[in-house]
Chain A
Amino acid sequence: MLAHVHLMPRGDPAMDTDDTIARLDPETRTFVAATAARRAALELRGAAAFTAVTQALIDLRADPRIVELAARAIAEEMDHSGIYLSVARAYGPGEVPAPRPEPIDVPAYPGIGADGERLLRVVGMCSINETMACSFLELCLDGATAPLVRAGLRSVLADEIRHARIGWAYLGSADVGDAERRLVSEWLLPLLRAQWRGWRDQIATLPAGERVGHGCPSGQAIERAARASVRDLVLPGFARAGVDVVEAMQWFERSSD
């Protein structure tokens, strides 16, 4: 039965052929293959994260359509892993093994009660992290010219937009009232700082260089996109949702002077 399970079910014809790859220099092929292989593994961590988000939404008795989006996101993140694996195998000179899902450490928010922690998990993963991921993917797609890579990035971005919406949809739902907004307000800065630290740490692990046309921008460009995402999407989004962003904005502005 497993033989019928496909890691890349979209069937996009552009994913099957890309004659431009064969003409690339070996260094570029290796660089893109390594990047795609790394992302294939990281996307599986996203699947694990959405299992936690889905459970949180179920425990919160959230609107079933929001729960459904989260549940679907688990499989979609695995799908993304398959897309990146296909890219890695297309560019790579050798065999690229498929990564396996592994457990992740889910952030804990002590002292706020079970429902508060569930709310912050939804907000932290979706409203913050996935929204920032959309900006990253937009950056990658903006520079990508290679057909195989563009097709893959387009597919991933379309999903990540929905994944980010999960957090905003819950924040905008009738289940979130003044008390919940106060909690998010109190935790917004710690959430942002922790996530930003994670982005910086991961950016620091990227290899030097870039292959913009193949969806691999430089670490500096990724950091600029992430900063812009916080400034232009995340903070305005929380403000629109009725969350107090003053402290977080001061943090952002202090760091931008």
Chain B
Amino acid sequence: MATIAPRSKLFHTIVVVGLSTASAGCGGSEQVAAGKEAGADAPAQDAADAGAEDAPVEASLVFAGTDASGDAGISARRGDAGDAGDAGDAALDCGPASYPGPEGGCWPMFI
């Protein structure tokens, strides 16, 4: 059975920060502003504004701490994507063609 466990670094950078950006019960748009002022959006912005040095992007993906979900201890190395083999390399089942999923195609990918 595959283990469903978040990768701390990218999980925090994308999901944890994202979910807290305008979290319920915290004032709606005011909370978004608070998040920005507190630097919640800073990593990605730093990376976007960065020059040729690698450090800002590395920093943008580093989660230097833990969150309430107990993400601590889960590997935060770059390249963890390669560890997908731990869950087996079998292809995910795409389902039969008649599977009642969304119509009109999927969202565009950039690979």
- The smallest C-beta distance from A79 to any residue of chain B, in angstroms, reads 10
Contact A158 B44 (CB under 8 A): yes
Q: Are A236 and B5 in contact (CB under 8 A)?
A: yes
1/0 per residue, CB under 8 A from A, across B9-32: the answer is 011011111111111111011001
> Among residues 121 to 174 in chain A, which have CB atoms less than 8 Å away from a CB atom of chain B?
124-125, 128-129, 131-136, 138-139, 141-142, 147, 150-151, 154-155, 157-159, 161-162, 164-174
What A residues does B43 contact at CB under 8 A?
161
- Determine which of B21, B61, B101 lies in contact with A138 in the assembled complex, contact meaning CB atoms within 8 Å: B61
Contact A228 to B4, CB < 8 A, known contacts A169-B18, A196-B92, A233-B14: no
| B14 & A108 in contact (Cβ 8 Å cutoff) | no
B4–A231 CB distance below 8 A: yes
Q: Does A241 contact B (CB under 8 A)?
A: yes
Residue total for A at the interface (Cβ-Cβ under 8 A): 101
B19 touches A241 (CB 8 A): yes
Q: Are B24 and A172 in contact (CB under 8 A)?
A: yes
Contact indicator B91/A202 (Cβ below 8 Å):
no
Q: Shortest distance in angstroms between A182's beta carbon and chain B's nearest beta carbon?
A: 15
Q: How far is the CA of A168 from the CA of B50 in the complex (A)?
A: 25
Shortest A18–chain B CB gap in Å is 11
Q: Which of B15, B33, B94 contacts A193 (CB 8 A)?
A: B94
The answer, among B6, B18, B32, B105, for a CB contact under 8 Å with A65, is B32
A118 at the B interface (CB under 8 A): no
Tell me if B104 and A108 are in contact (CB < 8 A): yes
A120 to B107, CA, bound (A): 11
Q: A42-B111, A107-B104, A228-B81 in contact; A196/B48 too (CB < 8 A)?
A: no
Q: Which residues from A are CB-within-8-Å of B106?
A: 107, 124, 129, 194-195, 197-198
> Are A174's CB and B109's CB within 8 A?
no
Q: Which B-chain residue is minimally distant from A81 (CB atoms)?
A: B110
| CB <8 Å contact, A63 and B32 | yes
CB pair B48–A155 under 8 Å, yes or no, is yes
| Residue A257 lies at the interface, judged by CB distance under 8 Å to chain B | yes
Q: Which of B10, B22, B61, B107 touches A173 (beta carbons < 8 Å)? A: B22
Q: A49 near B: Cβ within 8 Å?
A: yes
The interface of chain B, by Cβ under 8 A from chain A, is: 1-7, 10-11, 13-26, 28-29, 32-33, 36, 41, 43-48, 50-52, 54, 56-57, 60-61, 69, 78-85, 87-95, 99-111
A-B residue pairs, 7 tightest by C-beta = A168-B18, A158-B47, A198-B106, A165-B18, A172-B19, A45-B108, A228-B84
Q: A162-B45, A228-B7 are in contact. List 10 more A-B contacts (CB 8 A).
A: A39-B110, A42-B108, A104-B108, A106-B105, A167-B18, A171-B18, A232-B11, A237-B14, A237-B15, A239-B4
**27 A–B contacts from the bound complex (CB under 8 Å):** A12-B52, A13-B51, A63-B22, A65-B29, A65-B36, A66-B22, A107-B105, A129-B107, A155-B48, A157-B60, A158-B44, A158-B48, A161-B14, A161-B47, A161-B60, A169-B18, A169-B22, A172-B23, A173-B28, A176-B24, A193-B99, A194-B102, A228-B81, A228-B84, A240-B69, A256-B1, A256-B90
